[in-house]
Chains A and B, each alone.
Chain A
Amino acid sequence: MEAISVKNLSVAYEDNLIIDNMNLSIPKGEISIIIGANGCGKSTLLKTIGRIIKPKNGEIFINDKNIKKLKEKHIATQVAFLPQGPICPNGITVKEVVSYGRFPHQKMIGGLNSHDKEIIEWAIEETGLKDFADREIENLSGGQRQRAWIAMTLAQETDIIMLDEPTTYLDMSYQLEVLEVLEKLNKKKNITVVIVLHELNNACRFASNIIGLKKGKIICKGVPRDVITEENLREIYGIDVKLQLSENGEYPICVEYELIRG
């Protein structure tokens, strides 16, 4: 089963081709992590799936339905996307930010119904923000703030969530905090999670499916243990790496890396 599939997708900023004729399917119920060097098209891919950028060519299917044929609000009930650097005006509390996630489900007139409120409670609980629900966003730590945004994404009540670099600018413990929340949701609610991530070791640890991109093309795709190899990393990042298996033997760890000179 696939949650998202992309067929013959090309995306360009003016004449600059970012994604070149890509075919990709993202499996349901798994954590897929997209890695690649800066400017390789990973964010562009997520943004195109999230309808922020219009593709030049190709089709995108979400739960086997072509997004061109769906209404904007309906798509927003199928897939939720947390872009980079989310913003909100000062003075908004965690609870209020999370309730924004109910927007695609709400009618134009009328407030939050009891189901909306339940989902908001659940999202706050799941992300461990119960004690901070009435705090203002600007008064939270980086990790808490990012979890609040994830809670909002959860409140959209979708089977698929996509996150664009959700751990950037966070220190190591906050990075884990965020990724563990996502892992828990994936396990408990079978939510399909798609993440763009820079941190290779975190990617290997949390992904069940890793996708390596270079210049808008897929270099490798599969279980981290199979596809995170020295050759593939050389291809993707242009670096020489030393890999080791983790202590439990389940995923590779990059222990040393060196730029390829010459």
Chain B
Amino acid sequence: MKKRKLKIISLILISLLLFSLILYLSWGSFKISPLDIIKTILGEGTKLQKSALLNIRVPRLLVGISVGIALSTAGALLQTITKNELADSGIVGINAGAAVAAVVFISLKTADYYSELGNISIYVLPFMAIIGAGISAAVIYFLSGRNRIRPQRLLLIGLGINAGLNAFITFFTFRGGVSDYNRVLVWISGSLWGSGWSYAKIITPIVVLMFILVHINYKKLDVLNLSDEHAVCLGLNLNKERKKFLTYAVILAGTATAFAGNVSLIGLISPHIAKKLVGPYHKNFLVISAVISTIIILIADAVSRNLFSPIEIPVGITISILGVPYFIYLMIKEK
């Protein structure tokens, strides 16, 4: 019964994934038919198709997928660590920490906000963002009582930190000029604008590696779902593992935020849907959650690019518009 259900769900998700991939690559101000996509990838497309697909859409696709997987996995980790389904790196201020670090770093580095980042900056940026995310995670961790994480307290402290950091970003935008404001806006709302190969080359390997690292720990994550006392009895070094998984979440959320800003809700919704579909076993639900986040971010970004073309809206806003009603529906349905 259960295995069959899993098969059906996987089949549906795979077809949705294919649909979103084709939609993402073909829909745009320059349309490319699905058949031409395959042709171009095999090296037979026209010059225009090649440049649109290989230089613009594919790298952005990779960055988008990486961002989605990073945030949904970070969200899943935080939900397990805190035993709270509302935890998410955006809500508890980890993303905001990364965004502050990124904004400060960029404004110190360059005054030209519209250009892509320089070569060295691109390599340094994720590290800065991870450090920023790490600092805010550490503050939240220590304030919410180190050895005994109290989920309610962690969530409230995180909310506070998040508000404070966002205030800082807003302050920054007022201090700067119009160009500052535009660039910073990307960090506040989350956007894949300007994602090229230079971004994809860095974020994709980091996220792939981190996802594998998280996934091989699925048994420990399952045990963390039991009561704290129970987990200790089963021989889990609770504090060590918690710190380890929090660090993983920080690296994932920090990397994603460095390149795409504070994309909200996806880290909350994807694990939520995945758990509803396949249950709370991490082995399955981490993968399903990654697939769901990919589908969501691809469709949302395709809409962001094209709906009001030539004006592009940040993908974070589209996700929020699509995600909030679903989220409220979940809350109402919850007993």
- Residues of A at under 8 Å CB distance from B? 47, 50-52, 71-77, 80-83, 85-93, 96, 100-101, 103-104, 106, 108-109, 134, 156
The smallest C-beta distance from A25 to any residue of chain B, in angstroms, reads 21
- Pair A156/B234 contact, Cβ less than 8 Å: yes
Nearest 6 Cβ contacts at the A-B interface:
A76-B235, A73-B235, A89-B280, A83-B229, A91-B279, A81-B233
Size band of the B side of the interface? Answer: 20 to 34
A92 CA to B278 CA, complexed, in Å: 10
User: Looking at the complex, which one of A72, A73, A87, A92 makes contact with B227 (CB distance below 8 Å)?
Assistant: A87
Interface mask (B222-241 → A, CB under 8 Å = 1, otherwise 0): 11011101101111110000
A residues less than 8 Å from B233 (CB atoms) = 50-52, 76, 80-83
- Pair A50/B232 contact, Cβ less than 8 Å: yes
- Pair B230/A83 contact, Cβ less than 8 Å: yes
A residues less than 8 Å from B225 (CB atoms) = 88-89
The smallest C-beta distance from A54 to any residue of chain B, in angstroms, reads 10
The smallest C-beta distance from B311 to any residue of chain A, in angstroms, reads 43
A92 CA to B219 CA, complexed, in Å: 14
Q: In chain B, what residue has the closest Cβ to A110?
A: B219
B residues less than 8 Å from A96 (CB atoms) = 281
User: Looking at the complex, which one of A52, A80, A82, A100 makes contact with B222 (CB distance below 8 Å)?
Assistant: A100
A134 CA to B281 CA, complexed, in Å: 14
A86 CA to B226 CA, complexed, in Å: 7
A72 CA to B237 CA, complexed, in Å: 7
**Cβ of B216 < 8 Å from any Cβ of A?**
yes
User: Looking at the complex, which one of A47, A73, A74, A92 makes contact with B280 (CB distance below 8 Å)?
Assistant: A92
Q: In chain B, what residue has the closest Cβ to A164?
A: B229
- Pair B226/A108 contact, Cβ less than 8 Å: no
**Cβ of B175 < 8 Å from any Cβ of A?**
no
User: Looking at the complex, which one of B229, B235, B279 makes contact with A103 (CB distance below 8 Å)?
Assistant: B235
- Pair A92/B279 contact, Cβ less than 8 Å: yes
**Cβ of B275 < 8 Å from any Cβ of A?**
yes
- Pair A86/B227 contact, Cβ less than 8 Å: yes
A87 CA to B2 CA, complexed, in Å: 22
A101 CA to B223 CA, complexed, in Å: 9
B residues less than 8 Å from A100 (CB atoms) = 222-223, 226, 234
The smallest C-beta distance from B276 to any residue of chain A, in angstroms, reads 8
